[in-house]
Amino acid sequence: TLSDRLTSVLQNLRGKGRLSEADIDATAREIRVALLEADVALPVVRTFIAKVKERAKGSEVSQALNPAQQVVKIVNEELVGILGGETRRLNLAKNPPTVIMLAGLQGAGKTTLAGKLAKWLRGQGHTPMLVACDLQRPNAVTQLQVVGERAGVPVFAPEPGNGVGDPVDVARRGIDEAKRAQHDVVLVDTAGRLGVDEEMMRQAIDIRAAVQPDEVLFVVDAMIGQDAVNTATAFRDGVGFTGVVLTKLDGDARGGAALSVREVTGQPILFASNGEKLEDFDVFHPDRMASRILGMGDMLTLIEQAEQAFDADQAEAAAVKMGSGQLTLEDFLEQMLTLRKMGPIANLLGMLPGAGQMKDQLANLDEKHLDRVQAIIRGMTPAERDDPKIINASRRLRIANGSGVRVSEVNDLVNRFFEARKMMSQMAGRFGLPGGKNTRK
Ligand code: GDP
Ligand code: MG
């Protein structure tokens, strides 16, 4: 991951006052690779790197984070900024109905999105209606009708058997019908082509002119990768749009398209689609997308929470201990108490990329169980907490009796402690926490 790479590039930096030019250049190279791997378009990568370099030059080296983490934090903040900072809401018309037109290439997910948006809007107390203006493909109208039924909203479609209808006319009549039946939002589904195509664009422009939508949402498949820039530019210059929806985020794309589309068109990303079911849909979260592009899970959330819960020195001391395999049961207890302040332990561990194994190991550490763990550790002598290896069978029996648990629970805890200590020191090595290098096993 980017974090690994930056860690090795910036290994010798701790303690210096500022990042040097050479350090920044080396860092920039790694960020560039990470962004290209996430399929961000090259020109967008260039602009982005320039911004990050500028910011890194001016920044002091933090005491709480190592330089690699600090650069990752800057990169992340810039990414979140470009991706839109706060999520933008839909523009609703002062005089209903609000008209929302969907545009995009064939297969981008427009029709599916129509159903998702309709369902989501219904959940917010709106009364949406769908209008079927894709008369290109034989099954398109039926597909929208099926989707509408699942979402529990009516669909306006041309009467069958009248030959190929005119999509502009259908759009107009659809809006009239929505007014008559007092639907407060109208979603207009349109036809796409496999590539950008003049006729498709012409039709979209005509529909836009006819219905005067409050929003035109450009629907784009997140898997599109490098081509996102060309497609987005063509739609911007053709029909034009006021917002973006990213689809198929459930796939393995790292989401570079989000950054490309956003940077090139300047339009906000409003929603994210992540599956075929109508519920697989959410408003767009710039911060989540940023960490996905960086490929680091929610490592940054973890950094943030750690910064809040510890002061910098404590964080440093604890990290060194954890990373060097010198953790004692006393520390373990302390850490556990800190972690409990930070929220359910499993959530926290789930944020670490690749922490699945450790998560399983600690899955039993639910909150009630933690109380018992605390009791057991408190039933130990300081010598035992300091060096758990001395805890033999007779000591285990004494501890169990003293803290009111079964011997097997004491055994469990001690075994799990040794496993956790080993794993923390392995993870420290991977994530560049201080102390990770001189692992004592
Ligand atoms: P349209 O041509 O733009 O209307 O695209 P459709 O809505 O017909 O979607 C094309 C295909 O992509 C369909 O098979 C959908 O089920 C699928 N699809 C749409 N959105 C998503 C998504 O977010 N995730 C996944 N996995 N599939 C999607
Ligand atoms: Mg469609």
Residue 15, pLDDT above cutoff 70: no
User: Which pLDDT belongs to residue 74?
Assistant: 85
- Written as one string, the DSSP assignment of 238-273 is TT--SEEEEE-TTSS---HHHHHHHHHH-PPEEEEE
Residue with the nearest Cα to atom 6 of ligand 1?
109
Burial of 196 (0-12, 13-18, 19+ CB in 10 A): middle
Establish whether residue 106 lines the binding site of ligand 1, counting it when its CB lies within 6 angstroms of any ligand atom: yes
Band (56; pLDDT cuts 50, 70, 90): confident
Q: Which residues have CB under 8 Å from 348's CB, separation 6+?
A: 302, 305, 339, 342
Cα 221 to ligand 1 centre (Å): 9
Q: What does the mean pLDDT of the chain come to? A: 83
Instruction: Report the run of H or E that residue 131 belongs to, with start and end.
Output: strand 128-132
176 assigned ligand-binding residue: no
Is the pTM higher than 0.90? The answer reads: no
Residue with tokens 């929302």: 100
Ligand 2 ion: residues within 5 Å (CB): 110-111
Compute the C-alpha angle 194/141/231, nearest 5°: 25
Which ligand 1 atom is nearest residue 251's CA?
A: 26
What is the C-alpha separation between 139 and 377, in angstroms, rounded?
Answer: 66
| 3-state secondary structure labels for all residues of 79-147 | HHHHHCCCCCCCCCCCCCCEEEEEECCCCCCHHHHHHHHHHHHHHCCCCEEEEECCCCCCCHHHHHHHH
The answer to whether 189 is a known ligand-binding residue is yes
What is the pLDDT, as a whole number, of residue 301?
A: 62
Tokens 């039709």, located at residue = 203
* Domains of the chain and any CATH numbers: 2-83 (1.20.120.140), 98-286 (3.40.50.300), 299-431 (1.10.260.30)
The atom number, within ligand 1, closest to the CA of 104 reads: 3
- Specify the pLDDT at position 438: 39
381 annotated as ligand-binding: no
Q: Whose CA is nearest to atom 12 of ligand 1?
A: 109
Kindly report, residue by residue over 328-356, the tens digit of the pLDDT: 888 777 767 666 665 555 555 555 555 55
Strand pairing partners for 128? 185
Q: Does the pLDDT at position 203 exceed 90?
A: yes
Tens of pLDDT along 268-310?
999 999 999 999 999 999 988 988 888 765 566 656 655 665 4
Q: Whose CA is nearest to atom 11 of ligand 1?
A: 107
Nearest to 84 by CA among 358, 229, 271: 271
275 C-alpha to ligand 1 centroid (Å): 8
Phi, psi of 186 (to 5 degrees): -120, 125
Contact criterion met (CB below 8 Å) for 198 and 190: no
Res. 89: pLDDT tops 50? yes
The mean per-residue pLDDT over the stretch 1-27 comes to: 68
| Residue 108 beta carbon below 6 angstroms from any ligand 1 atom | yes
Nearest CA to ligand 1 atom 16: 276
Q: Is 111 annotated as a binding residue?
A: yes
Is 107 marked as a binding-site residue?
yes
Strand pairing category for 155-156 and 128-132: parallel
| Ligand 1 pocket check for 250: Cβ under 6 Å | yes
- pLDDT band, residue 437 (cuts 50/70/90): very low
pLDDT of residue 314: 58
| Atom 9, ligand 1: residue with shortest CA distance | 109
pLDDT class for 184, splitting at 50, 70, 90?
very high
ipTM for the whole complex:
0.99
Residue 122 alpha carbon to ligand 1 centre in Å: 21
Task: Tell me what pLDDT residue 305 has.
Answer: 58
Give yes or no for residue 323 CB within 6 A of ligand 1: no
pLDDT level of residue 439 (50, 70, 90 thresholds): very low
Tell me the pLDDT tens digit for each residue of 218-236. 999 999 888 888 999 999 9
Closest to 413 measured CA to CA, from 309, 329, 339, 350: 329
Pairing of strands 215-221, 98-103: parallel
Confidence at residue 421, expressed as pLDDT on a 0 to 100 scale: 79
Q: What pLDDT is attached to residue 310?
A: 47
42 carries a ligand binding annotation: no
- Mutate-to-test residue for ligand 1 from 134, 224, 276, highest number of ligand atoms within 8 A of CB: 276
Which H/E stretch holds residue 53?
A: helix 42-58
